[in-house]
Chain A
């Protein structure tokens, strides 16, 4: 034991005499670098580099089924001039806005109820939401066909009770269905940030507002809402981005008027193999989404000050 430790100390001490101040600090920095390095390099190589290549593709051109680096803006021009894409983008914005506002509102109401009304049940109820968050993205979407389809659970039940004799076919394959199904998997995602924000609202602050003569609504608008706004905004923005970029929901339950850009982007890659066009469509959609998100951030921040 003593022999091994003496051996281990030996070279370190010699190194220390040669460069007394630097070695410790350098070794510490090196160790930290080695710890952060692999994860950082991985994300840089497999996320940043692909995003750069993807962006370059949107500026290049396909010739003879090969992508060649001839710089041009044709793919973007085509995206803006293509009336069907414009219509689809508008449809996407409407659906994503509906779904994200619905999700953020319900998530806020849920988190608010947990924080102020059902305090003792916070942990188990939050636990239920986390389980929902990690269970079945694909399942959650396709199950709605079984629930709302013509021979689905809701229609069979209603027919069994005798309320209807023809199945209600408006339940599925339209814009409304897309909004409801998107909200179904977005709500769990939206709950956590709002819940965290509401933890910042202290009871003393609420009581102070009430003592100073603020009503329940006044306290909500002047104390709770401004304090929760950053979390609420994050929840909404995350839901909006996820909804605008979703492929499965419009594909499986959206029907004709519930189609979104995710479907056309996927088709451009998988059926047409037109990578530049697909990339341009994806970047245009992302830019439009980010623009909408910044407007909401600005306006919301102004109102809830």
Chain B
């Protein structure tokens, strides 16, 4: 315990290097002036980022991704927060059953959800479109919101709500003035993580997009002709958004609360 844990630091550094190497590599090559995505770096340029907006396919994909991320985050945050708040007030057995139910989309492999949704949508004649992608993404983001807000609710002293009611606040008043300020950071971080998850989601989007492609689907299509710096630039914009969203979200909630 007394000597500096050099081996521990070496291991942690090596693991983090392994985790971040691919991400750093993609961002680095998105600035590479050479059109082949590889070493050596022949000067830096921003021209690949300009190409994103010049190519209609890429610009459309960015717009689609933004739309899907905002729509799925909006629904899952409202419905998920409401559910998470109610879960702590329900009888234990009901809470346990519903908690298990909401974990389901997180445990079922994404490819499985994707093909099941494809079968379902074609069966009920629901047109494969951006709406279908939004539905698929909500399945992934809703459990995340329920888990995050649920964790916050469990660490709250609910007697504060009762105190507010005893002092004459109505139900809605107690919610807006007492509960909402307490869970606001968790709500913001849940929103941000939903957006990040949606922007990053690939396999469900691939199956149900029906032509309205999101950024990861377009990147995947582009990979058939090989990795180009423009693809790296497109991927880097999404990466920047998800990393920023996650970083802000992580500052707002205690990670130890979430890692229950």
Contact = CB atoms under 8 A, between A and B. Distances in A.
A and B: bona fide binding partners: yes
Contact of A36 (B98, B120, B260): B98
A265 B115 contact: yes
Given A125-B12, A132-B20, A139-B23, A117 B5 contact: yes
Given A130-B246, A146-B29, A199-B256, A151 B38 contact: yes
A98 interface: no
B239 A145 contact: no
Contacts of A140: 22-23
Interface string A80-109: 000000000000000000000000001001
A92 to B, nearest CB: 12
Interface in A193-251: 193, 195-196, 199, 238, 241-242, 244-248
A129 B258 CA distance: 13
Given A39-B146, A54-B115, A196-B260, A110 B26 contact: no
A137 B18 CA distance: 14
B259 A195 contact: yes
Nearest to A44: B101
B22 A269 contact: no
Given A146-B227, A245-B109, A135 B239 contact: yes
Contact of B235 (A106, A136, A248): A136
A209 to B, nearest CB: 16
Interface of A: 31-32, 34-36, 38-40, 42-43, 46-47, 49-51, 53-54, 57, 106, 109-110, 113-114, 117-118, 123, 125-147, 149, 151-153, 156-157, 160, 184, 187-188, 192-193, 195-196, 199, 238, 241-242, 244-248, 252, 262, 265-266, 269-270, 275, 278-279, 282, 286
Interface of B: 5, 8-9, 11-12, 15-16, 18-23, 25-26, 29, 36-40, 75, 79-80, 82-83, 85-87, 89-90, 98, 101-102, 104-105, 107-113, 115-120, 122-123, 135-136, 138-139, 142, 146, 171, 193, 196-197, 200-203, 207, 216, 219-220, 223, 227, 235, 238-239, 242-243, 245-247, 250, 255-256, 258-260
Given A42-B139, A46-B138, A47-B139, 7 more contacts: A38-B82, A50-B113, A51-B116, A130-B250, A131-B246, A187-B18, A266-B115
16 contacts: A31-B171, A36-B83, A42-B75, A46-B117, A46-B138, A53-B123, A110-B12, A130-B250, A132-B19, A135-B242, A138-B202, A146-B29, A187-B15, A187-B19, A252-B223, A282-B115
